[in-house]
Structure 1
């Protein structure tokens, strides 16, 4: 297993490295060295803001940096290389075999019909790979939006280098400069007015994968069709955006104001709502472990508040040093993963190794409890106490399997102590201590 994982990782690194070298050579060939450097300097400006926005959205259960680096590198290198090579070939095929039109319409047809299909498919490949091979890190809609958005940010970064570099070369050729230059206009449209364009399109695909990840494993058809529907919708949005460029200034502004901005606002609201739902899931799931002695009563409250989490880490850092702050951060991450794992068990998506993964996370909590629990108890005082999760009115729900009791000494359940090892509740039934 480890050998195959190492081979896959090595193959991806080689693929991305070769793609990066080829795309670098192609872009530099089109823009020249000076144009490439100017395009690079301008294209990188919106990247930190976009990455920071997606990292904020992913703040409840941050994904490993290796996943995000892979997504960005795939978008910047592999997806862009596929787009550069395939867009031209597909457009030529379209103009010669399907569409009878003059060569003057080639760019319009290519941008409206070909580019959305090629580019969105190339970007979606990164989301698919992480969905298939990093399922533990891909649990819902927020994860899909973040991975898709980071991939699209990488794609837009390389594409902007090309567009801005070409604009600079054009300005040098015709003697334009300052605010009247093509470079300034291109930067304003791509980096100021619409830096969210590519992330918005691909985020729709990510939402499809996120919904599929939350579906039970037995719903195989839906888990396939929903991501495909998201991909098709992203292609439609991308095509409408590209097609607006051929409508003139007023047509472009109409599509921008009436379509793109509302969709961006809707996606932003949906992401914030989904992030809040993740916090509510933590608040609902963790009391089950509180009842069996693994965590203390203030922890579900503190762990379901981003503000309380920050207070706990800061308190540990000020009183016991950086190592204590890291222990609190690890505790928070393990408790969050535990809550989401139990939520997936409720939905029937946790998989057969649920008990093993649950016990491993509980052991990690137990090893850090002496440092983390006092800090979280203090932090919980700063958060208004939310209403308790809704309870089952008649005791335990049917089919409920008991959780392991917390050990008296050291990590792991003690022989003969309390109930048997925890198991997932049966599919379609709620956990013992509240709705998910």
Structure 2
């Protein structure tokens, strides 16, 4: 027998249907911390929203194609340099740490998944464009560093200073690009970590191929050197680059949630500092010889544990924010009190999906969860823009209001489809 709806309660009616939106809900301000009226006002003048959306989609498609071509071209160049056989061997090995990183980042992104094309853009920026710009920019920076510090060890200077500065700037440029392209859905620190992490994972993938190929060349084709560097880079530190650039992603994501463009640009500059510092610290340990493994255990392992702890806390904060913002809509009738915990907790979502799958409506429930989570983050952005003030914030606020109303309409449609499927699955008397 079909289970009752997870949101069923006294206000839901006999079959678990939430109340329809109040007729005057659009004119009613739901409670919110900022005390701002966040319901739609007249749309701003300018090109139609659909026109802007189409232009943005075309831009994203062109960028995606360009970055894919750049990535393929970069890998083809290194294949020609290393030799096809060596490239295939090293590429296969580099796929192992890449798979570990991508699987972890996808898990981190589960609460409010980012669009797949945007994730591909992030990876391709790291694997292609960031590698090329690093090589070009590094060729300019290296002579300057050596010229200003002639007595310093050139290898150590390059590893501890040049590589962290140049690589993190080049990777970070891709994160900044994604912020401007995905500004409407770049919602917080977790988004920053996911985008930055995929950029870094792509960069590490290409870099690992080069390091593995270099190890084979130096060992005259013997496997010993390759195994050693694979253990260090592929197994002991697959998340190294991800951790470095994720620090930048956290800062940019925090700024994206709490302010406008100026705050994001400032956070980008500030976030480069811990990213460069961690990168330089990791590279410095490679010059410790026998002490490397001791430093790895004493320093790098605790840093990794702190990083994982931070990610878990960030994911919890996303759930807390979702619950708070969806609760804003209860008073005006868009959601019932029973729906909020169903949509804003992991356990509630699992029960809701299990219920929906009992009558073959799992896909609709997933869409319902996705839309409501997006709605919660859009509302949070509205609250921030209402507090910020200024012409730019006012423009974003008006655009956000239109997006909020659009999402509310979609939520109502999906809910009706879910309940219709549930009613159709009930046994007829």
Do both proteins adopt the same fold according to a TM-score greater than 0.5, normalized to the shorter chain? Answer: yes
Q: Which residue of 1 aligns with 2:380?
A: 343
Range with bigger deviation, 227-236 or 141-150: 227-236
Deviation at 1:18, TM superposition (A): 4.3
**Pairing 1:228–2:269 present:** yes
1:19 corresponds to which residue? 70
Question: In the alignment, is the contact (CA less than 8 A) between 1:215 and 1:223 conserved in 2?
Answer: no
Correspondence for 2:209: 161
Structure 2: 5+ residue stretches without partners: 1-51, 387-395, 423-429
C-alpha contact 2:64 2:117 (8 A) present in aligned 1? no
Give runs of aligned pairs for residues 27-66 of structure 1, distance below 5 A.
Answer: 27-66=78-117
In the alignment, structure 1 residue 286 sits paired with structure 2 residue 326: yes
Output the CA distance in 2 between the equivalents of 1:222 and 1:258. 35
Aligned residue among 322, 336, 341 for 1:296: 336
* C-alpha distance 50-373 of structure 1, shift in aligned 2 (>3 A): farther
- Rounded to whole Å, the distance in 2 between the matches of 1:6 and 1:353 is 17
Other-structure match for 2:5:
none
Check if 1:269 corresponds to 2:315. Answer: no
CA, structure 1 residues 258+348, in 2 after alignment: closer, same or farther (shift >3 Å)?
Answer: farther
Give the CA deviation at 1:154: 0.6
| 2:26 match | none
Verify the 8 A CA contact 2:188 2:257 in the aligned structure 1: yes
Partner of 1:312: 352
User: Shift of the alpha carbon at 1:37?
Assistant: 0.6
Query: What is the CA-CA distance between 1:223 and the residue it aligns to?
Result: 3.4
What is the Cα deviation at residue 16 of structure 1? 1.7
Residue 161 of structure 2: aligned partner: 113
TM-score for both structures, normalised by structure 1? 0.77
Corresponding residue number in structure 2 for 1:425? none
Aligned equivalents of 2:293, 2:116: Cα separation in 1: 37
| Partner of residue 183 from structure 2, selected from 115, 135, 138 | 135
Secondary structure in structure 2 of the residue aligned to 1:353: helix
| Cα shift at 1:75 | 0.4
How far residue 125 of structure 1 moved from its aligned partner, in angstroms, is: 1.2
Q: State the superposition RMSD in angstroms.
A: 2.3
Q: What is the rounded CA distance, in whole Å, between the counterparts of 2:57 and 2:356 in structure 1?
A: 37
3-state SS of paired residue (1:5): helix
Distance 2:343 2:65 in 1: 40
Distance in 2 separating the partners of 1:278 and 1:131: 19
SS in 2 for 1:291: coil
Q: Is the 8 A contact 1:285 1:339 kept in 2?
A: yes
Offset at residue 234 of structure 1 (A): 0.7
Kindly indicate whether residue 245 of structure 2 is the aligned counterpart of residue 202 of structure 1: yes
CA shift, 1:167, in A, is: 1.8
Using the size of structure 2 for normalisation, the TM-score is 0.78
The aligned counterpart of 2:45 is none
Report how many residues are paired: 362
Could you tell me whether the CA contact under 8 Å between 1:164 and 1:186 is conserved in 2?
yes
Measured after TM superposition, the shift of residue 155 of structure 1 is 0.6
Residue of structure 2 aligned with 1:249, choices 290, 294, 307: 290
Q: Which of 365, 379, 388 is the aligned partner of 2:411?
A: 365
**Structure with the larger RCO, 1 or 2 (CA within 8 Å, 6+ apart):** 2
| Residues 214 and 152 (structure 1), Cα distance of their counterparts in 2 relative to 1, 3 Å cut | same
* 1:122 corresponds to: 170
Alpha-carbon shift at residue 238 of structure 1 (Å): 0.8
* 2: CA distance, partners of 1:13 / 1:207: 24
SS at match of 2:358: helix
- 1: CA distance, partners of 2:419 / 2:325: 18
Deviates more, 1:158-167 or 1:302-311: 302-311
SS for the counterpart of 1:246 is coil
CA distance 1:135–1:3, change in 2 (3 Å): closer
* Matching residue of 2:126: 75
Cα deviation, residue 221, structure 1: 4.8
Q: Is 2:74 the partner of 1:8?
A: no
Q: Displacement, 1:44?
A: 0.2
Residue 143 of structure 2 corresponds to 92
